[in-house]
Structure 1
């Protein structure tokens, strides 16, 4: 079987999941990756055969989406041409992980495809939403990368086509301990803004993973580290807690490890607000922004009990097997 796997690279989560899925997908045939976007900080090692600037996300220094820059970088003519040129018709199975160009290519060429990943779960009305729905956000989740069928991933199995997160093998095999430090990954914020708050809590060591850091450095009680998959895994396995956005992969891993978790949804990103609604069911602390009282919020959070642990009901191997069965069914 020839498998075309379109991976969104507007963040690290999609790529981290693709790296985990690849060995299982390769059991069914050859896999060619289409990597779309340029916001990821991870070195992939994936068999990338096709690449595009895609539709990338950019952030202001205060943590919200920079819509002006996103629109400035968007080129409709380029996107249309790339969609027409992608050879999706030469593959037996097309997987689309919230990637719009491959989805458009399949639509133009009338090729069936499988919408796979976290965003696919929002095709179900049973997936958690915030108290106030956002019409534009709902539209993006449903129509940004429309597919023939869907296999969704979420914190719980909210519907029959939704399965648990794909957890990295390094996390699955880990023996978590608490060595005292707090791990931070908030790429939507400027490092200096964060450091100002964390250095006030002098009795707690922090490890700040920075999208701009080239090499490790220290500032008072804060170790500043470049984004690196292995280093980050080691940090979260051995930390007392994690402060991060309300994405999907990282919070899922922290909940699986049973660690303390504080999440700050990226402003203007509706999916993260939906995730925040789901995370509250696990007793995760969720706040709206880094404000002047952020230092006090962290101190208070450090006293909270750990959230409910994430339970896995399906292995990665089983999830991939179900996706491959879907691929056979939609081929007709």
Structure 2
């Protein structure tokens, strides 16, 4: 069995999820797994050892200005000609299966060449209409066209349909003890100066800020770090709470480890807006629509942490894929969700 995994590089959540999948594949030496990453400049990728000698393509990405998706920039700045050339040139003749985490080059190449493609990840939860995810028919159509697939395996925090599994995250067996008043801040799409200003008036808390525009800096109660998978994981383990954009993966890890969570959805990005709606509606997290110190103060003082108990999805998925994904997604869904529950609500 030979599998090609397409990794969407625009967000660290996709990369983190595929890291977890690659770890699970290590238990299946009979499977030959290759990776293709797109959506981010190769020199801006980091901590990619798990993907071995991965392929890279420019791909497509949403363009962001001042914390908001810019439709004009997205249409004008993406390399459409190069994208379709990459789709035509990618040879899949040696692969039995393609798995795409919303990566469009592998998805479209698989469609053109008739290779079975499994869409695995958060975005695939949106492929079918559910009341839990407020999207319209045009938004769902855009999702389907961006990275199409033959088999849909979406992910969500709760059971909302037979095409959806619990989140695929890293399960750390020996997490560090949580430190009171220690907060992890991950708002990569917001201007750094605005993030720092947001935290300035809370010296009684310690903030670890991870942002692509910063280098290592000690600002007293605010510690700044450039992107680092290892450093981020260490800061996350210690943190009592997390302030982040409304991406799925960071939110999932916060819920899995019982961290109180405050999210600021990326304006104009309907997936993050839907995530924020869900988190707030189900009382899983607090939401602020803009960077607002009053919201932060209220959250720091009053927020409760929710912990979700999900099974370790990675080994189940790796075994399923290694066997040719013959079991139905509905069967996989039923088996995994029966071991999932919301187990605690605590201060």
Deviation at 1:102, TM superposition (A): 1.3
Deviation at 1:134, TM superposition (A): 4.4
1:58 aligned to 63, 66, 75, which one?
Answer: 63
Deviation at 1:41, TM superposition (A): 5.1
**Number of the residue aligned with 2:248:** 248
What secondary structure sits across from 2:59 in the alignment?
Answer: coil
What secondary structure sits across from 1:91 in the alignment?
Answer: coil
Partners of 2:164 and 2:310 lie apart in 1 by 12
Count of residue pairs brought into register by the alignment: 322
**Number of the residue aligned with 2:304:** 306
Deviation at 1:261, TM superposition (A): 0.5
Partners of 2:73 and 2:35 lie apart in 1 by 27
What pairs up with 1:1-332 in 2 under 5 angstroms?
1-26=1-26, 27=28, 28-38=30-40, 42-45=46-49, 46-60=51-65, 62-126=66-130, 128-130=132-134, 133-170=135-172, 172-214=173-215, 216-280=216-280, 281-290=282-291, 294-325=292-323, 327-328=325-326
What TM-score comes out, normalization by structure 2 length? 0.86
Deviation at 1:225, TM superposition (A): 0.9
Partners of 2:235 and 2:156 lie apart in 1 by 24
Report if aligned partners of 2:167, 2:313 keep a CA contact under 8 Å in 1: no
Q: What's the Cα RMSD here? A: 2.1
- Alpha carbons of structure 1 residues 194 and 314: separation in structure 2 relative to 1, 3 Å: closer
Gaps of 5+ in 2: 329-347
What secondary structure sits across from 2:214 in the alignment?
Answer: coil
What secondary structure sits across from 1:310 in the alignment?
Answer: strand
What TM-score comes out, normalization by structure 1 length? 0.90
Gaps of 5+ in 1: none
What secondary structure sits across from 2:107 in the alignment?
Answer: helix
Partners of 2:128 and 2:260 lie apart in 1 by 29
What secondary structure sits across from 1:140 in the alignment?
Answer: helix
- Alpha carbons of structure 1 residues 318 and 266: separation in structure 2 relative to 1, 3 Å: same
Report if aligned partners of 1:262, 1:284 keep a CA contact under 8 Å in 2: yes
Deviation at 1:8, TM superposition (A): 0.5
**Number of the residue aligned with 2:333:** none
What secondary structure sits across from 2:205 in the alignment?
Answer: coil
